[in-house]
Structure 1
Amino acid sequence: MRKLLNGLRDDAGMTTAEYAVGTLAAVAFAATLLKVVGSDKITAALAAVISRALG
């Protein structure tokens, strides 16, 4: 019985799955951010902010 309980408590591989989910979420966020920043309105707004900050 003790051997069975120890086997059930073993969570080997969970960290790999957690890293995979975290990486997938980061890639999805980066893709969304790239799509938003790539739009014409956002590009113009960022250029205006940078121009104002530099000069």
Structure 2
Amino acid sequence: MNIRDRIDRAVIGAWCAIDARTDGATAHPEEGSTTVEYAIGAIATAGFAGLLVVVLKSGAVKGLLQGIIERALSL
């Protein structure tokens, strides 16, 4: 038996031991938490983008931005 087969057997044995201790439950209680964090971040980003669009479409902000651009172009 080569070294790769020995490593594979050791890894499989370790996972079987972990599975036997947890009665089939996931070995890592935080498994999948990264995916949830990304989902929450994506939802928060979409909400912020929507709010930014509403603010930038308001008349006061449009006038302010237009004034800044006109002053910059008149130099």
**Shorter-chain TM-score above 0.5:** yes
State the one-letter code of the partner of 1:48: G
Are residues 1:30 and 2:71 paired?
A: no
Structure exhibiting the larger radius of gyration computed from Cα positions: 2
Task: Let me know the Cα RMSD of the aligned residues.
Answer: 1.6
Considering fraction of residues, name the structure with more helix. 1
Deviating 4+ runs (over 4 angstroms) = none
Q: Structure 2 unaligned runs (5+)?
A: 1-17
The TM-score normalised by the length of structure 2 is: 0.61
What is aligned with 1:48?
Answer: 67
Q: Structure 1 unaligned runs (5+)?
A: none
For this pair of structures, how many residues does the alignment match?
52
Amino-acid identity (%)? 35
Separation (CA, whole Å) in 1 of partners of 2:57 and 2:27 = 48
